Amino acid sequence: MDDIDSAIVRELQRDARQTNRDLARTLRIAPSTCLERVRALRARGVITGYRATVDLRALNRPVQALLTVRIRPMNREVIERFKAFLTGLPEVLTVYVVAGGDDFLVHVAVPDVDRLHALLMDQVFKRREVVDCRSSVIYQHVTNDVVEALPPATS
C-alpha cells in the first residue's frame, strides 16, 4: 500500500458511489491509473466489496444493544452451530467470537426494549448451550467510517 492506494481506499470508504473520473480528479491522477489501481486493490483483497449504509431508525430498529454470551461445552462444533443460529436472527447485526470471560459479543438492533427482552427470553436463553448472557443497551453508536492502513510494527 503506497500513498495513492491509501488515498483511493480512504476516498472509496468516504463515497463508494463516485465515478472513477471523479475519484481520479480528487486524487489528481489519470483516470486510467485510478481504474488500474482500484482493480489491483480488489484483486489483492484490500477492497472486499461496496455497500450502502442504512439508518436503523428508518428501519424501525432504534434500540441497539450488545450481548455477551457464554456457551458450554466449548468446542468447535458448538461454536459454529451457535454462530449460525445467531447470524440467522433478523435482530442480529454483528457476531464476534471472542477470547476472555465471554465467548460471543453480539450487536443487535430492535424496535424497543420489549423486543430485546423477547429476543433474549424466547431465542437466546432457550438454547441449551447458553450458560450466561448479559445485555447492555447502547445509548450512542459512533463508528469510524474510514479505516486507514497502519505502518508495520517496528522491533
* Residue pair 109/93 in contact by the 8 Å Cβ criterion: yes
* Residue pair 42/93 in contact by the 8 Å Cβ criterion: no
pLDDT value, residue 125: 96
All residues at 6 or more sequence positions from 68 whose CB lies less than 8 Å from its CB, including other chains: 102, 104, 105, 106, 132, 133, 134, 136
All residues at 6 or more sequence positions from 153 whose CB lies less than 8 Å from its CB, including other chains: none
Classified by CATH at the fold level, domain 63-138 comes out as: Alpha-Beta Plaits (3.30.70)
Cell of 80: 459454529
pLDDT value, residue 127: 97
Cell of 135: 445485555
Domain residue spans of the chain: 3-43, 63-138
User: Which CATH code for domain 3-43?
Assistant: 1.10.10.10
Rounded to two decimals, what is the model's pTM? 0.85
133-148 per-residue burial string, b: 16 or more CB within 10 A, e: under 16? bebeeeeeeeeeeeee
Asked if the domains at 3-43 and 63-138 fall in one CATH topology, the answer is no
Query: Could you list the mean pLDDT of each consecutive 10-residue stretch along the chain, which spans 155 residues?
Result: 94 95 97 97 96 93 98 96 97 97 97 98 97 97 87 81
- Distance between CA atoms of 94 and 26, rounded to whole angstroms? 33
